[in-house]
Structures are given as structure tokens and as C-alpha cells.
Chains A and B, each alone.
Chain A
Amino acid sequence: MAETLLSVRSVSKSFRGLRAAAEVSFDVEEGHVVALIGPNGAGKTTCFNMIAGALAPDAGEIRFAGRRIDGMRPDQVCLAGIGRTFQLVKPFAGLSVLDNVIVGALRRNSHVGVARRKAHAVLERLGLEGKRDQPASALTLPDRKRLEVARAIATEPRLLLLDEVMAGLRPTETDRMVAVFRRLNEEHGLTILLIEHVMRAVMALSREIHVLHHGELIASGSPDDVVRHPAVLDCYLGEEAV
């Protein structure tokens, strides 16, 4: 079962001399939930953007299901089977919540009627069905984050990239989100790679954690190992985290 779905090999990216990612390598096995954590500015979102095709790496290689995807356009990466959310949410503000999700669902279904039914199901799952006719611009931030997830799931990805979707949620809402992802993972075998600061969610969801600091991978392993790792405690979690 545990085949490598995503493989990131020695990937580097610099912005005007600033190394945002330096020789980062990690794998994501099919069916796993993997977290990428680290302090602000560690290069987590840069890594995401390179996987999702929004940025081309300066060096290194990214493979998805055996295929090179580094340097592909974001839409090609999506077609290959990777769905993503944006840390700074990007709803289609003028469209209704339902229409936002229909756009995502149209990726697999060219017929709008079919896509609409799929969209309803996705909204139901994320608890947004009651707000389907509101314009996306009228949503609160937690709902926008949910919409971001709904749209990405509607594309029916094999790998879902979640960029801080729990930020700003109340603990009960976080638990609900965690439950949604756990079900997607367990029932549909969806592989998830998440960037997250909310350790409550990270610990509850992930099977492996990779820790980035100043663009470099400083630790990798199971959640229990990583949170005890001296370097991780030092730069990110702090002594009291354990």
C-alpha cells in the first residue's frame, strides 16, 4: 500500500539571495497524512508553491506518482491530481458559495449539472450547505477557509495540500475540520500534506512530521519523536510544548 506518491528531492529556491528552501527532500506515502511545520518564514509555503506549480524550483526534482511535476503550470499540477488551498484565502468573491465549489467540481465533470450535484455533496461534508446561496464575499474567515477546502476537494485530488486551514478557527471548529480530514483520509484514501501551526490539529492528524527552519529540513519522523527533537524544541515549539 505505502507507495511513494509525492517525492521532493533536493529542492532549492532563492528570492534575491534569500534561500527560502535549501536542498529540501521528503516523501509523502500514498494514504498518509503528513505535516510540514516550522516557524514563520521557514519556507513551508514556498515548498507548497513549488509542489503546486505556482513557483518553479531553482534546483531539484519533484515527482508525483512517478511523474516529474516541477516546472509544470498550476493547472497541469491540478490535472495531475494535486489539490491545494491558499494560506491567504482566494475565494471567487462575486460568485455564490455553491458556484465556487462547482468551478472545482468541473475539473472532473464537464457537465454543469453533474458538477452541481458533486458540489452539493462537498458542501454538505464541510457544513457549508446552509450558506450555499450566499456570495463568497459574505462569509466569515473560518467559513472562507472551509470554502477553500471544499473547492480543492471538489477537484477530487489524490493529494491535498492544506496551507494553514485551521488558523483562526476555534478549538471546536478545529476538531470538526480534523474530523473531516480524517474521514477523507480513511474513507477515500486521500493523501494529505498540511502546513499548520495549530499543533492540536497536527498531532491529531499526521502520521509523519517534517520540520523546516530557515529553508532547511531539520527533523523528520513520527509526531512523538519530532516534538521531543531538541532542534525542534529549540527553534519552534519551545520547552513547554511537550
Chain B
Amino acid sequence: MKALLAATPKRALFLMAVLAGVLLALPAFANAYILSVAILILYFAYLGQAWNVMMGFCGQLSLGHSLYVGIGAYVSAALFVHFGIAPWIGIWASILACMAAGAAIGVLAFRFGIGGVYFALLTIAFAEFTRIGFDHLDWVGGSGGFFLPVAQREINDVLALRGSPAMFYYVMLALTVAAFAFCTWLLRTRIGYYWQAIREDPDAAQALGINTFRYKMLAVIISAGMSSLSGVFFAFYYNNLFPEQIFNMSRSIEIILGPIIGGTGTLFGPILGAVVLTVLADGITELMAAFGWEIPGVKQVFYGTCMLVVIVFLPNGIWPTLARRLGLERREGGPHG
């Protein structure tokens, strides 16, 4: 920890302190709309971080991360609605269920040598058939949706995930900060080095004694477990779940846009990407509303344009370039933030 601080430029520490202050104080001066946008940003920053573990660190492309969000959401919600089990307990069931799903995909793919594009297709397939399965699962409402009882918003109860938007904001902020810290730590351990080696060249990694199967499994399972938490959050924040929405492939795409635009494999990339995408997308929607225009699909077109611009001009994402411009790069070796 001390070494980490010493290796980080003063300027970066100062900026992070300012950022922390603003984030902590935000609910005090932000209106309901700003707060809802902030929650959305944190939600995508967190999920992007989780996805980044698999793709950014270990080089395994998942295009079906909505699977873990959906399973995480449904498991906790079902336990709550049917058995009255509070989310702080249900969350563990969600994590385990998602880790099991991730492990199933991992075993299938990595045991039988399915890699690259075919692996990505497999992740889509799992998300899709799970969506269809939930469409017909009447126990959790099927395609008609699953609804959680909406409770009083005045009393904040973090353990029950019931309370005001400000509480949800702080919960999501805590999750995002924890995920960031966790990933920073992971990258500095043997696991992080081995993941990056596998990402860069699996053959060379194996020749250096790395059990690539084991470490790829670890990446999928950790990423799935992290993603499940955002599903639980989603369920108790929005109080309604539809398989058509939560498992949809476009959700998976939304999850990965942030880290790709921000910078795959970096620690700040997913966060920066979430800020840029959410703020701009919402800004455009607001702008359109202000002018009284209504163009369906404008958000998707905007996402596509963002992607195009970043891939053409900043193939490594915004963060690596930005960090260099601001002089925020770490000095001595080690994986780069």
C-alpha cells in the first residue's frame, strides 16, 4: 500500500482526493435527476470493471455479461420475494449462482479449446438461452416480469437495500470503490501478472509454467461473481425485472462499451468510459427533448459513433492518452493504472 502511494505522482493523489470529496458530497447538492445519472455512471463503472477482469486483464472476450447481471438479480429478488430473505444474505446466493454459471462456461470453453470469437459466441449463447429460460419460468413471473414490493423511501436500511436514492448512490459508490481497489490489488499479485501473460501470448505463458486453464477459469469466476452484485443492486433499485431487458444482448454491449472507450485492461478506463458514455448519452437525450425532437434509436447511433471515433483515433481507449497528457502515469514498472 505504501509502495503504491509512493509510486503514484502527487498530482494524481491530489486529483483523487478532490474526486473523492466531490463523490462523497454529491447527494447533498445534487437534484434527483443528477443523482440518478450519477448512480447509472457508477453502475456501469462497476460492471465495466468486472468485465475488464476477464477481457482487459486475461484477454477472454465475454459478450454475454448480461447473463451474470440477470442471474444475480433474479436469485436475490426471488429469495426476497418468495422467502423473505434479505438481500445481504441473498447476495451470497447470487454470487455463488453466477460463479457457477461462469465456471460452466469456462469449463466448456477452455477444456475443449474454444477460444477467441468462438468463446465470445458461447457467452452470447448462454445469455440468450438463459433469457429464454426465464421467459418461461413462472416462479419468477416469466416474460410478464418479476416485481419487488416497493417500500417506503424515507427509511434507509442498507442491509435490506431499501431506502432513498442517496442511499442507493452510496451503496453503488462503495461497490465501485471496492471493485477498483480489488482490481488494483489483483493486478499486483501473481494472478494479475499471469492473466496479463495469458492475454499477451497463451503459448509463451504456458511455457513459463502457467496453468492457463486454471487462471482463465479464475478470471471468468471472479468476473462473474463481481457482476452478480450489480444485478442484485439493479433488482432492488428498480424493483422490476424482465428477462427481455436484463438478459438482452444490447445490455451486454452497453456493459463493454465503457471499458473499451475508456481503455481496456486499465484500472481507470472502465470508470472514465462510464462517465463519458452516460453523460453524453443522457446529454443528447436531454438536448433532443429540449428541441422537441424525437428520433428513435439516437442513443444507439451515438454509441456506435463513439466507438468508431475511439477505435480510429485512440485504439487503446481514452485513459492511456489522457493519463499521459495529465502526467498521471506511475513511475516504476508494474502494471499500469
Contacts and interface: CB of A to CB of B under 8 A. Distances in A.
Contacts, number: 85
A151 interface: yes
B196 A99 contact: yes
A73 interface: yes
A204 B209 CA distance: 30
A38 interface: no
A149 interface: no
B315 to A, nearest CB: 12
A73 B201 contact: no
Contact of A92 (B190, B200, B209): B200
A110 B190 contact: yes
B206 interface: yes
Contacts of A115: 190
A112 B201 contact: no
B203 A90 contact: yes
Contacts of B149: none
Interface in A180-228: none
A96 interface: yes
Contact of B207 (A84, A93, A106, A112): A84
Interface in B178-206: 188-190, 193-194, 196-197, 199-201, 203-206
A92 B59 CA distance: 12
A133 B329 CA distance: 13
Contact of A106 (B190, B199, B212): B190
A94 B188 contact: no
A54 B205 contact: no
Contacts of B190: 106, 110-112, 115
A86 B196 contact: no
A133 B333 contact: yes
B316 to A, nearest CB: 9
A74 interface: yes
Contact of B193 (A86, A94, A103, A151): A103
Given A99-B334, A106-B190, A86 B208 contact: no
B211 interface: yes
Given A75-B212, A106-B190, A110-B190, A95 B200 contact: yes
A20 interface: no
A75 B211 contact: yes
A155 B208 contact: yes
Interface in B184-240: 188-190, 193-194, 196-197, 199-201, 203-212
A127 B43 CA distance: 47
Contacts of B189: 112
A98 interface: yes
A106 B333 contact: no
B212 A132 contact: no
Interface of A: 52, 54, 73-75, 78-79, 83-84, 86, 90-96, 98-99, 102-104, 106-107, 110-112, 115-116, 132-133, 151-152, 155
Given A78-B206, A152-B208, 18 more contacts: A74-B203, A75-B206, A75-B207, A75-B209, A78-B207, A79-B209, A86-B207, A94-B196, A94-B199, A94-B265, A96-B333, A99-B333, A103-B193, A103-B197, A103-B208, A106-B190, A106-B193, A112-B188
21 contacts: A74-B203, A74-B207, A75-B206, A75-B207, A75-B211, A91-B200, A92-B196, A92-B197, A92-B205, A93-B201, A94-B196, A95-B335, A99-B193, A99-B333, A99-B335, A103-B196, A103-B197, A106-B190, A112-B189, A152-B208, A155-B209
